[in-house]
A and B are shown apart, each in its own frame.
Chain A
Amino acid sequence: MSNPSASHVPLWRRPAFRALIIQALLLVGLVALITMMVNNALTNLDERGITTGFAFLSERAGFSIPQTLIDFPGNSTYGRTFIVGLLNTLLVSAMGIVAATIIGFAVGIARLSPNWLLARLAAAYVEIFRNIPLLVQILFWYFAVLQALPSPRQSLSLMEAVFLNVRGLVVPAPIPEAGFGLTLAALAVAVVASIAFALYARRLQERTGRALPVYWCGTAMIIGLPLLAFVISGAPLSWEIPELKGFNFRGGITVIPELMALWLALSIYTASFIAEIVRSGIQSVPSGQVEASRAIGLSPNITLRKVVIPQAMRVIVPQLTSQYLNLIKNSSLATAIGYPDLVAVFAGTSLNQTGQAIEIIAITMAVYLTISLVVSAFMNIYNARTLIKER
Chain B
Amino acid sequence: MNDSTARDTLIAARPAPDIRHGLVGWLRSRLFNGPVNSIVSLLTLALLVWALTPMVQWALINADWLGDSREACSGEGACWVFISARFETIVYGFYPVAERYRVDITLALMAVTIAWLAIPRMPAKKWVVVFALVGFPIIAWLLLVGGVFDLPHVPTRRWGGLMLTLTVATVGIVGSLPLGVLLALGRRSQMPLVRSLCIVFIEFWRGVPLITVLFMASVMLPLFVPNEVEFNKLLRALIGIMFFWSAYMAEVVRGGLQAIPKGQEEAAKALGLSYWRRMGLIILPQALKLVIPGIVNTFIALFKDTSLVLIIGLFDLLAIIRAGLTDSDWLGFATEGYVFAALMFWVFCFSMSRYSQHMERRLHRGH
| Chain A residues within 8 Å of B, Cβ to Cβ | 19, 22-23, 26-27, 30, 37, 40-41, 43-45, 47, 113-118, 121, 127-128, 131-137, 139-140, 143-144, 147-148, 329-330, 332-333, 335-336, 343, 347, 351, 357-358, 361, 364-365, 368-369, 372-373
Contacts and interface: CB of A to CB of B under 8 A. Distances in A.
Interface stretch (B66-74, B259-267, B340-348): B340-348
Nearest to A343: B211
Contact of B220 (A143, A358, A372): A358
A368 B322 CA distance: 29
Residue of A113, A143, A144 with most partner-chain B CB within 10 A: A144
B194 interface: yes
A133 B145 CA distance: 28
B223 A41 contact: yes
Interface string B216-232: 10011011111100000
A132 B41 contact: no
Interface stretch (B92-100, B126-134, B200-208): B200-208
Interface in B337-367: 337-339, 341-342, 345-346, 349-350, 353
B212 A26 contact: no
A23 B193 CA distance: 6
B273 to A, nearest CB: 13
Contacts of A372: 203, 206-208
B91 to A, nearest CB: 17
B236 interface: no
Contact of B345 (A43, A115, A131, A358): A131
Interface residues of B, number: 57
Contacts of B193: 23, 26-27
Nearest to A43: B227
Given A131-B350, A329-B209, A336-B310, 12 more contacts: A22-B194, A43-B226, A115-B31, A115-B40, A117-B30, A117-B45, A128-B346, A133-B345, A140-B335, A365-B208, A368-B207, A369-B204
Nearest to B349: A131
Contacts of A41: 223-224
B216 A365 contact: yes
Contact of B209 (A27, A43, A144, A343): A343
B305 interface: yes
Contact of A147 (B41, B215, B334): B334
B194 A26 contact: yes
A227 B33 CA distance: 41
A118 B209 CA distance: 35
A357 B208 contact: no
B44 interface: yes
A383 B215 CA distance: 34
B148 to A, nearest CB: 31
A116 B31 contact: yes
A343 B334 CA distance: 25
Contacts of A136: 307, 318, 338, 341-342, 345
Interface of A is mostly: helix
B292 interface: no
A26 B215 CA distance: 28
Contact of B225 (A40, A121, A132): A40
A135 B47 CA distance: 27
A137 B194 CA distance: 40
A329 B208 contact: yes
A384 to B, nearest CB: 18
Contact of B318 (A22, A47, A135, A330): A135
Contacts of B325: 143
Given A135-B307, A136-B341, A369-B207, A121 B346 contact: no
A140 B338 contact: yes
B308 A357 contact: no
A13 B203 CA distance: 33
Interface string B270-304: 00000000000000000000000000000010001
Contacts of A373: 203, 207
B57 interface: no
Contacts of B211: 332-333, 335, 343
Given A23-B191, A368-B207, A139 B338 contact: yes
A118 B334 contact: no
Contacts of A47: 227
A361 B215 contact: yes
Contacts of B349: 131-132
A49 to B, nearest CB: 13
A372 to B, nearest CB: 4
B303 to A, nearest CB: 8
B59 to A, nearest CB: 13
B194 A115 contact: no
8 nearest A-B residue pairs (beta carbon): A116-B30, A372-B207, A131-B349, A329-B209, A133-B304, A144-B335, A140-B338, A369-B207
A44 B304 contact: no
Contact of B212 (A23, A132, A343): A343
5 contacts: A22-B194, A118-B44, A132-B304, A136-B318, A140-B335
Contact of A347 (B215, B310, B339): B215
Contacts of B11: none
Contacts of A144: 334-335, 337-339
